[in-house]
Amino acid sequence: MRRRTVIAAALAVPLNLAGGMACAATPSPGRTAATPAAASGPVLEGQAPCAGIEGFSCSTLRVPLDHGRRTPGSLDLKVAAANNVNAPRGVLLVLSGGPGQPGVSLVNRVRTYFDPKVLQDYRMVMIDQRGTGPDGINCADLQAATGGSDFLTPKREDVISCATQIGRTRNFYRTPDTVNDLELLRRALGVRRMAVDGVSYGTYTAEHYTLRYPSRVSALVLDSVVPHRGFDPFSADGMAATKRVLTDTCRKSTTCTTDPVADLAWLVRHGEIDGQRINGTELLDALGVMSLSSVNPTFEGIPGVLHKARTGDTAPLKNLLEQTSSVGAPHDQMSAGLHMATLCADLRFPWGDSATPVARRQAPLDRAVQRLNSKDLYPYDKATARALAPVEGCLNWPVSRPSEQPRAQTLRPPTLIVHGRNDLFCPVEWAYEEKRYAPRGKVVVIDGIGHSVQGSPTNPTARNEVRNFLNAR
């Protein structure tokens, strides 16, 4: 969970948080030939110095399209690994999020988030998870319309076109598939255990890997947590977080004399810009991007922008929406197709899961929307909840194989959870929820910081906590 120029700069791992193979009904030749694993196990092929990434070697990990081996084909995943092969504390696998973000192209940025001591003691590794990166899923129309946003409403025809483009292989872009890829990566690296650091949806992947292979994880860092049990696709938690964050922002400001929550609520219901109604999902998207720790997590100036828009001066809000929209993010930074394929398989909806026939989804969705409590959604509304990307997109996503939920529910390794109090992609309440399943866990919540706290350019708290945690292992 995230994106544009601001987002590219903020790819502060929105690690949030990305995917481009020109998808086809069947995978492309380089990834379809059924290639049995070598007798000695998975290997990293074609190792060579990474172009533009000093001190790292790049290679390819070939994984089966279907780990159950019932559907032929393979995928070639790009891997970047630091050259300190004999690092004393072993491998540190860093997982980007989205879902839909790459790994390899983010190495130069992400390595700056770690204390030099961590990079000395650990061998940092990143991977382009299946469906991401330059060779990832590229659904042009869906990409252009949403950029892989967690919030913006996708058009029905774009969703169907993307699913058709991917074809039957859409059954294999689920988190359980990625988890099995990561186990092959561990084996190819030749290590018994790894420390794992996930950000945003990367935390969800990290949690599921840990639940599936607990003995293979020496330490777990979760930055901007997505709970391993999933989340409400209507985003009631995120909407409530908006109310809390805007209220706190105004309370702490010496210049705020307005009510930003009331102003936002009015804009959601009545606002217009240049004669066009403002969409609640656009406001959710923009404020989410503002909450990135590398953008404006203190929301400085936002109450004034909202109040001006309510009183008729919409120019500042128009500028905000244009500068912070997820629209325009290219597929190799954030694959909208991978984002949709994964969320529709991983999440549960009022109609059930992604195996539910499309014709049987609308009625239970309508009933669920009617049952929503408007107070829980304020300052947003039911129309906003109904129009969110996971709801509208997955309503129209063709039948696909749903993700299996892990049998284990306890994160057994030592776990550090770092979270920004102002995060509007992953509300801070999710951090405390996940802590319930981590008996050896510690939660550090940082005031004035938002999404992807390790990437904060102004607050070193998360960086220092991660250093102390990892170097104590």
Q: What is the pLDDT of residue 328?
A: 84
Q: Please give the helix or strand (H or E) that residue 242 lies within, else none.
A: helix 236-252
How many CA within 13 A on the CB side of residue 58?
15
* Residue 75, beta-bridge partner list: 63
Distance, C-alpha 176 to centroid of its chain = 15
Q: Could you say which residues of the chain have pLDDT below 70?
A: 1-39
Distance between CA atoms of 14 and 290, rounded to whole angstroms?
A: 12
Q: What is the pLDDT of residue 305?
A: 98
Q: Are strands 272-273 and 217-223 parallel, antiparallel or unpaired?
A: unpaired
Per-residue pLDDT of 77-97, as tens digits, reads: 999 999 999 999 999 999 999
299, 249 in Cβ contact below 8 A? yes
Range of the domain at 31: 1-473
In 95-190, where does DSSP find H-type helix?
107-110, 116-121, 140-146, 156-166, 175-189
Q: Say whether 287 sits in a helix, a strand or coil.
A: helix
Q: How many domains does the chain have?
A: 1
* Residue 64, beta-bridge partner list: 74
Cα angle 192-210-80, degrees, rounded to a multiple of 5: 60
Distance between CA atoms of 294 and 426, rounded to whole angstroms?
A: 15
Distance between first and last Cα of the chain: 28
Distance between CA atoms of 430 and 408, rounded to whole angstroms?
A: 19
> Which CATH number do you get for residue 200?
3.40.50.1820
* Residue 57, beta-bridge partner list: 49, 81
Q: What is the pLDDT of residue 369?
A: 98
200, 425 in Cβ contact below 8 A? yes
Q: Token digits for 316?
A: 């500042």
99: preceding bond cis by omega (within 30 degrees)? yes
Per-residue pLDDT of 133-187, as tens digits, reads: 999 999 999 999 999 899 999 999 999 999 999 999 999 999 999 999 999 999 9
State the pTM of this model.
Answer: 0.92
Q: What is the pLDDT of residue 2?
A: 52
